[in-house]
Amino acid sequence: MGARDWHPWLVSRLACVSVPAVEITGLAKRYGSVSAVDGLTLRAGSREVTALLGPNGAGKTTTVEICEGYRRPDAGTVRVLGLDPVRDARKLRPKVGVMLQSGGIPPAARPREYLHLMASFHARPADPAALLDRLGLTSTGRTPVRRLSGGQQQRLSLAAAMIGRPELLFLDEPTAGLDPQARHATWELIAELRAVGVSVVLTTHLMDEAERLADRVAIIDHGRLVAAGTPASLTGGQQQLRLRARPGLDLSGLLSVLPTGSRASESPAGNYVIDAGEEAGGTSELLAAIAGWCRAHQVRTDDLRLASRTLEDVFLELTGRELRR
């Protein structure tokens, strides 16, 4: 049995393993005098969820739309499933599902009809009725799109992106404007897609979304990559302890019982932050060491809290705290 006779599903799976979903090198795009993307280099792995995180105007949507073949880059190369999004558009379109940041659906269309239309563009589509049901849109199947809520339109747009059973999904802010229930349902669906082998590239400015869903996070600002990695590697995996006690504790004394590399600071008075060093063992040892020291020195602690650095901390550190346009 030659390679040619292999099941198409198997062939596409084998191809997935070697080729990254998206590979961007030195991408630049200007609109007049404004530089939207400025030397971006980025890689989204196959069968992974990659989150592009960044403030408004960071260049996320421009980057995604270049990957979708809507715009040509001014400089740099973009490969999507190993193909050029503009030159190989015809080959790529069936393999890629797209959810635009807004719009795209005729306002007078009915969700059921619209999804059937999108399904009929594909050779082996998913079942529109099952997908509507899955996204809680069955009861609105015959309601004109313009009368749906923003969240319902958003979910219909998501359903349309995945109806053709693509290898790769581009989702531009998939949960923007969704209520918590719909957001969680969407997260579950994206996790399920990943589990069955779909690569997902999504943009978001929701930290918990990126932290929860993404295998890898790329933080973009001013059209450049400022950090990339797994959510755990970005947040450093470091444990942090916060406690309140009487002001003026002997911090060097406290540090002497903690793992080497630990740091402690007091700011404002009576509020202490302890960063456990790289060699810190489990949380319980750390807590035991601090509690033991406090008891030995008759320090009464209030509000002892264990926390890890969040993606939001990292994000604000990297992109600054000032407001964006």
Partner 1 sequence: MSSAGAPAANGVAAARAAVGENDLAPAPGAAPLRRMVAAQAVFDARGLLRNGEQLLLTLIIPVLLLTGFSEASVLNLGNGSRVDFLTPGIIALAVMSTAFASQAIATGFERRYGVLKRLGATPLSRSGLVAARTVTMLVIEMLQLAVIAAVAFGIGWRPHGGWGAAATVPLLVLAGTAAFSGLALLMAGTLRAEATLAAANLVYLMLLGLGGVIFPLSKFPPGMRGLLGLLPISALSGGLRSVLQHGTGLPWRDLAILAVWAVGGVVLAARTFHWD
If one asks whether residue 109 binds partner 1 (CB under 8 A), the answer comes out as yes
The CA-based dihedral angle spanning residues 69, 70, 75, 77, taken in that order and rounded to the nearest 10 degrees:
-10
If one asks whether residue 78 binds partner 1 (CB under 8 A), the answer comes out as no
Rounded to an integer, what distance in angstroms lies between the CA atom of residue 142 and that of residue 111? 6
Choose, by CB under 8 A, the member of 25, 30, 70, 294 that binds partner 1.
70
If one asks whether residue 7 binds partner 1 (CB under 8 A), the answer comes out as yes
The CA-based dihedral angle spanning residues 187, 190, 196, 202, taken in that order and rounded to the nearest 10 degrees:
-140
Amino acid present at 323: L
If one asks whether residue 205 binds partner 1 (CB under 8 A), the answer comes out as no
Report, in Å, the least distance between residue 158 CB and partner 1. 12
Calculate the alpha carbon distances from 306 to 67, 81, 283, 286, 325 in Å. 41, 42, 9, 10, 35
Q: Give the interface segment with partner 1, choosing from 54-62, 116-124, 218-226, 303-311 (CB under 8 A).
A: 116-124
Rounded to an integer, what distance in angstroms lies between the CA atom of residue 34 and that of residue 289? 54
Q: Is 164 or 231 the residue whose CB approaches partner 1 more closely?
A: 164
Residues ≥6 apart with Cβ < 8 Å to 231: 210, 211, 214, 217, 311
Alpha-carbon 213 to chain mean position = 6
Choose, by CB under 8 A, the member of 60, 79, 134, 183 that binds partner 1.
134
Binders of partner 1 among residues 217 to 276 (CB under 8 A) are: none
Report, in Å, the least distance between residue 189 CB and partner 1. 8
Choose, by CB under 8 A, the member of 43, 93, 222, 309 that binds partner 1.
93
Choose, by CB under 8 A, the member of 40, 66, 100, 258 that binds partner 1.
100
Rounded to an integer, what distance in angstroms lies between the CA atom of residue 255 and that of residue 315? 29
Report, in Å, the least distance between residue 28 CB and partner 1. 21
Nearest-CA neighbor of 164 among 215, 198, 188? 198
If one asks whether residue 173 binds partner 1 (CB under 8 A), the answer comes out as no
Q: Which residues bind partner 1 (CB under 8 A)?
A: 7-10, 12, 16, 68-70, 90, 93-96, 98, 100, 102-109, 113-114, 116-118, 120-127, 130-131, 134, 160, 162, 164-167, 192-193, 196-198
